[in-house]
Amino acid sequence: MAIIIDENTNVLVMGITGRQASFHTKQMLAYGTKIVAGCTPGKGGQEVEGVPVYNTVREACEKHRIDASVIFVPAPGTKDAALENLEAGVKVVVIITEGVPVYDEIDIVAYARRKGAYVLGPNTFGIVSGGKCKMGIPPNQYFIEGDVGVVARSGTLTYEIVGNLTANGLGQSTVVGMGGDRAVGLTFVDVLKMFEKDDQTKAVVLIGEIGGNNEEIAAEYIKEMTKPVVAFIAGKSAPPGKRMGHAGAIIERGKGTYQGKVEALTAAGAKVAPLPFEVPALIKEALGRK
């Protein structure tokens, strides 16, 4: 089954004519993603990697069924691009762009809620349903089909852990990047609920980091889950008051600490891996595999 996207998802690439977008369009196509359209205002009529380019999202929607969009436009234009896709009725919008102003993010997320759409990001690597569909920028070769669901705030740390899972023969149902910014579209709980319902997913890896209270809120829901959850929390060695790259990754006023998150998750029945490469062994243990 997988969650959010699968082999039948028709994808639009926003900003497809840009350097990063065209490179990753090629990579996504190679993974098997059904990219049916691209959109760059003023560049309609061209083709990128054989994909037709349209001037507006509405125009693309007149010619194709668009289930999901992946946005590669620069930060100043991201809000406009995201709203254009949501307004056109696209139900899954994946925003790769980093450096989007936080009040723009708040507006995007609020509008998505009203439209009943999912927003991943901003500042996400994207989403991969193992062997079926990839939207975003992760390297193809590490993402294989299987029964482990992965949900994360951070991109490359996810590659690290998924790479370890794959090297240990553990494929993935869906790997979801929520994004590293403060105001992103999904929460851990939103995604955990989807994994709990998904037939293909047998266990879940939650990749969190210091700062905020998302992991603590997730712990409350994990108590109710029937599927095992293994977590890794980045930032154990981070000093308080220093922002570790992500807008959210900062220990402020003694809140959002590594210790607090580990305690909440452990009390909820999740297993916490002290280091990234210790995740696969804990998943195997939870699933009773060798």
* Binding residues vs other proteins (CB under 8 A): 20, 24, 27, 75-76, 96, 98-103, 105-107, 109-111, 114, 125, 137-139, 142, 152-160, 163, 180, 182-185, 187, 207, 209-210, 212-214, 217, 232, 234-239, 242-249, 253, 274-277
d(CA 53, CA 249): 37
Task: Give the shortest CB-219-to-other proteins separation in angstroms.
Answer: 13
d(CA 25, CA 16): 7
Name the one residue in this structure whose structure tokens are 């569909």: 133
d(CA 287, CA 278): 15
ω into residue 280 within 30 of 0, thus cis? no
* Residues carrying an active site annotation: 246
CA–CA distance from 234 to each of 10, 153, 274 (Å)?
34, 10, 9
Task: Give the shortest CB-59-to-other proteins separation in angstroms.
Answer: 27
CA–CA distance from 277 to each of 60, 114, 257, 272 (Å)?
43, 40, 21, 12
